[in-house]
Every structure is written in structure tokens, then in C-alpha cells.
Structure 1
């Protein structure tokens, strides 16, 4: 039995790289029950070095593995120069890993990624990161009995064994917190929020869609300042953030995007939540833009019952002052009025005790766990 690894060169091969996942999940009834096919057009852009702004400061290589002439796996290798400049290390990344349950195939993929990263002068590899820490990352290790929410990942349990047997070790653990807003003591949360607003002289408002570009710049500024000390964080460039904002704008509900302002109308905090459109995407087989796919997407979008709080950010001088209570009150109040009582806060570092404490205070339970693996490059 021979295993061949090929580097992706053409647009056709890139699409083949993306759609290989269907072989893994469609062929397994249990996996297919929960897996949400990626939007093929979105992944095509993300893996296009000419279109995706990350690659202005990062290099990308895509590899496919073939066993006896049949495609058996995929992996991406990413050399993020901006990451290494900021963190003063020589770490490379791997992501978009899909593989049959075959250790030899997995080893061949990991070897191809590490070999390419080594040519970039890197001494360690970290993943899955697809393709950056500001995108999708982490391999699911707990919580296989429900579908992933929007922009979170799902994978077969055996992927973890493939990584561990290939010499990877756990670098960081990530949590997704499930919040049942029906059990939140919303009256207590409101009282706390009002107390904090009065004490600090603050007010709260929703996103102004008519001033979208300026609003997004406020989010970018606070996001980069609020998370700069977080493990693995790399500030997003204006071009990266604008690209992301443009792609998410059609999904944005301004009543789930909040700004907290001081008495001088300076924005000091924000929260960004989005409807869990995975509940609709699950039914369109990766093609929501086809005529039939669009009809199905719109139909199932009417029944979305969950939101994902992707991030909250507060300026450093306002940390530990209860600003989160203001934001969470708004999310819970609006959701409750519109029949959306479930939310996920993700992802949060397991070692981030402050965020875990916040999640617990509002009734959250850690129901999914992900791992980012690390391995030295020989």
C-alpha cells in the first residue's frame, strides 16, 4: 500500500481539498447527524492567497494524501510572520485537517506540514488553527452529541488519537459554554447592570447599521486592546477586520451587537453575538447560494433558536468593573423577547479563570471542549 502526498496548486485542486470532508462525514451516520458542511465558497476564499488578507503577512501550503490512488486526507500549513514577530517565537500552524482513520496517512500529512514549515525556519507546529487564531481553531475532544455553532468546528473522535500518536501534545484547552437563558435570574442581572451603569456613568446602545464602517472600527480598536495579553493573540489588521466584517454583515442583527459608552460617549466595551446560522447551513450541503440551497437556508433560518457570543471586549481601565453584566443583560433580554433562550460563549481558554467565572455567574455550563496541539519540528 503506497501513500503519496501532493501539494495543492490549482483552483480545482483547492475545491477538491475542501470537499474531501464529505467523504469523512457523509459516510458515518453518527458523524453526519451532527456535522455542518462548510460553505464551499467561503472556504475557497479563505484558502485563496490572492483574496484572503491574512496572507499579506502569512504563507500557506495545502497538502492532500492519497492511498493507493484514492484521496485519504488533507492538511494546511501556515507560516504566520505577524504571529512570530509579536510573540517572538518560531511557531508554525496546521489546520483544515481531515483524514481517514489511518495512522500512516495522518503521519504523512503531519510530516508534509512540518517539513514545509521547517523550510520557513520554524521550530514548532501548533494546531488545528484554520488558518489563524482569529478564525476557526481547536480539535473537539468533548461534546460530540450536538452540532457545532457558527464558526466552530466538529471532528471525529479518532482525530485526537491520530494527533497524539503522531507525537503531538496538548498545548491549550478551549471551552464552549452553553447558557440556558430560561434559568438566568434576569432580574438580579438587571439590578447589577443598572448599578454598574449608574456607578460608572455608562450607557449602552445597539450597533448603528447606517454607520457600519465606523462602528466596526470601534470594535476592532477595543478588540485588539482587550485581548492583546491573551495566549496566541495576534491583533487583526484593518484589512483583515474589514474583510471579516463585510462577510458577517449580512448576518448581523444589531440587537445582538452592543456598545457600552462612558459619559463622554467614548466606547469602552462591546459584545458581538450572531445567530447560529449553522442550524440553517446544516441543510444546504455547503451551497447556500444555489437557488435550491437559498430556499432551504431561508426556510430553516426562521427557526434559529440560539446565538453565539463570539467575543466581548472592555478597555483595560474598565476591567473587573462589571461591564459584562450590562452586555449579558442586553443579550438575555432581547433573546427572551424573541424566543431565543439559548446561547454559546465560545471559545474561551480553559485557563482563563475570569471568563469562566463570568460564564458561571450567568448560568453557563462548559459543554464542549477543544484542544490545540503542539509539537516540535525535528
Structure 2
């Protein structure tokens, strides 16, 4: 017998956050996310998707009143698909297929009552940049905002009938690995051009870099149907939020005279400090974070965005930027590895860029889909 509890009070919220910590307590790779980051997803005052969607989360307990699983189920009107599709996320479960099936069935029934025809998971009730996908390869400590799970979760999903909708590939390379000769040749070529210059991002001029970032991003990606248009004000707000963790040696912009033509954005892997906080972020934990940030070496940086405006693509300006930035950060930082945030297998252009940077796939996640009509033809995520 399994008892279902909707998370509605403080005690249930605490159990929703605590259950994974207990489940993974013997797993040395697990890093507990900050409680506040999880709770903000379920706060209508902080998550804009509540304006056009609905989200519930549930605890599942056995006859002894012990939690054996948890999940969130939601509908997001902005999540446009061929058929009405809901989502499930924040799934954790003991290694028991019957328990997992009960949880998935419960979500399926909840969604069907709202005329939904499929469910994707594990995904987030929000943007794809956090808590999205199921880890199936590369069971190492996760990056900040990245899902981590036991290997047996793959069987729980696939045995139920979930099918692979798209793969999420994470690419990585050692900072001191040999850089492509082509990059160095292109660096020498563009270095001789007095109109070309490279600048690292500086905290004291975030307004300028927010403007430059927006210009490059919208020209390189959004204008070609591979991303949404960004507004400068929102980018500046994002940069100001990131300011405490910005490292001024690892994000670079390239200019033709004063015009921004390329960017390479990186941040430290914040999880290397967050892992000491046990999910909390009160006054004491904030002081701890400052201490760890100052005295604990962080050896991994995370690649967020890489872009070149169309008129400078295929001219080697990426090689110029990579080698210019790499030489600098090798001298001025302790980073040993860089890992790119996941790239969907439906985005061959970005995958090609990652491969050009001499990276290898070191982590793989999956977004699954389950069609309620089992006779309907299943289709993978469309290619960009």
C-alpha cells in the first residue's frame, strides 16, 4: 500500500527536500542543491510559469509512513508540443519498479484529467537551464543546477514505457590540453589586425558587457531560430545576480573596433563550494560560501554560452578568442577542467562547435517522453 500526500505544509516541504539527501547519503558524487533553489520553482511569487501553468508536488509513503518517493507534476502553456504535453520532475524513488510505476501512474492520471496526452520527464517547471534531464552516463559530481540520480533510475523510466525524446550532451576538456594548431594559426592571423581585440569581462562594467552579450547572442542565435530574443535589461539583471561568482579571467568578448563580434562565457563550478552547505543558504552559509570561495581552490569552470555573429563565422575568430582567453586563464586561475552546459542532440550546430573546441562527451542526460495513447507513433525532438 502506498500513501500519497500533496506537499502543502512546512513539514511536507521539508520532507520533499530532505528525502533525496537521505537517499543519496552514501553516494560520494551527490551534491545537495540549495533548498532555496528548489523552493523557488514551487513559489508562485518567484516562478513566472505559474501565471500560465499549474504545478503540484507529492510525497509517496509506505504503510510504515516512510517516504519511498517524491515527484512534481505540472502543465506549462509555454511548453508547446505536437500534442498537449505535461511534465514531471524532481523525481526520486527507492530502487523498486512497482513504487516507480505507482508514482508515474499517479502523474499520468493527474495529467489526463486535464486533457493532457503525454508527459515529458524529468524536466523542470521552468527553463531548461536547471533541473532538466535524467543522468545516464558520467556519474560524477553534478554541475550547479544539474540533475543527479542513481543509475537505476534509467530502468525505472524505461521499464514503465518512457522513450528517449532527446539526449543532453555535456562536453569537457582539460584546460592545459593541447589547443588545436588551427586555433593558434587563426590567433596569429587576427592578432595582426589592429581592428580586432579581445577583452575579459569585468565586474565594474557589467552594463557594457550586458549590452555586448545581448548583441552577439541575438545575432548569433536568436536571429536564426535557435534561441529566443534576449533583452538587454534582463541580461544585465542576470549579470548582477551572477556578480558574486563572476571570475574576471574566464569570460571573453572579441571586438572589431568597438563592435562586439564574439563571446565566450564561463563561470566557476559553484557546486564545488555549495557541496559544503548541505542545501542551506542562511547567513552562516553565506559566510561559509565566501570563505570557501576565498580559500578552497575551484578547479572546474563551466561554459555557458559561445557565440560568433554570422558575418564573422567560419573566419577563425573563434580560434582567436579561445587561444587568447586560454593563455590568460592558464596564468591567472587554478582551473584544470572546463565543462560545457548540456547541448541537445537536436542541435547539430552547437555540437559541431563543441567538437571543434577539442572536447569530449563526459556526461549524458536524457529527456524522456511517454505518450498516453500507446498506439500513437512516437517521434523524437525535431532537429534545429
TM-score bracket, normalised by the shorter chain, equals: 0.7 to 0.9
Structure 2: how far apart are the matches of 1:246 and 1:377? 43
With normalisation by structure 2, the TM-score equals: 0.83
Following superposition of structure 1 onto structure 2, how do residues 1-378 of structure 1 map, counting pairs within 5 Å?
A: 2-26=1-25, 29=26, 32-68=27-63, 69-84=65-80, 89-131=83-125, 132-144=127-139, 146-185=140-179, 189-196=183-190, 202-213=196-207, 215-216=209-210, 218-220=212-214, 222-223=216-217, 226-228=220-222, 244-263=238-257, 265-289=258-282, 291=284, 294-295=287-288, 298-299=291-292, 302-337=296-331, 338-378=333-373
Task: Quote how far apart the aligned CAs of 1:290 are.
Answer: 5.0
Q: How many residues are aligned here?
A: 368
Q: CA deviation at 1:243?
A: 6.4
Contact in 1 for aligned 2:182/2:319 (Cα 8 Å) = no
The C-alpha deviation readout for 1:122-166, integer Å capped at 9, x for no partner, is 32221222233232312111112x212223221100111100111
In the superposition, relative to structure 1, how do residues 67 and 324 fare at CA in structure 2: closer, same or farther (>3 Å)? farther
Distance 2:155 2:84 in 1: 26
Inter-partner Cα distance in structure 1 for 2:9 and 2:237: 23
Partner SS, residue 116 of structure 2:
coil
Inter-partner Cα distance in structure 2 for 1:310 and 1:171: 23
- Residues 335, 341 of structure 1: 8 Å contact kept: no
Q: In the aligned structure 1, how far is the partner of 2:50 from the partner of 2:231?
A: 11
SS at match of 1:256: coil
Q: 1:292/1:93 Cα in 2 relative to 1: closer, same or farther (>3 Å)? A: closer
| Structure 1 spans left out of the alignment, 5+ residues | none
RMSD across aligned positions (CA): 3.1
SS in 1 for 2:177: coil
Query: Secondary structure of 1:285's match?
Result: coil
- Name whichever structure is richer in helix by fraction: 1
Distance, in Å, in 2 between the alignment partners of 1:237 and 1:305 is: 32
Q: CA deviation at 1:325?
A: 2.3
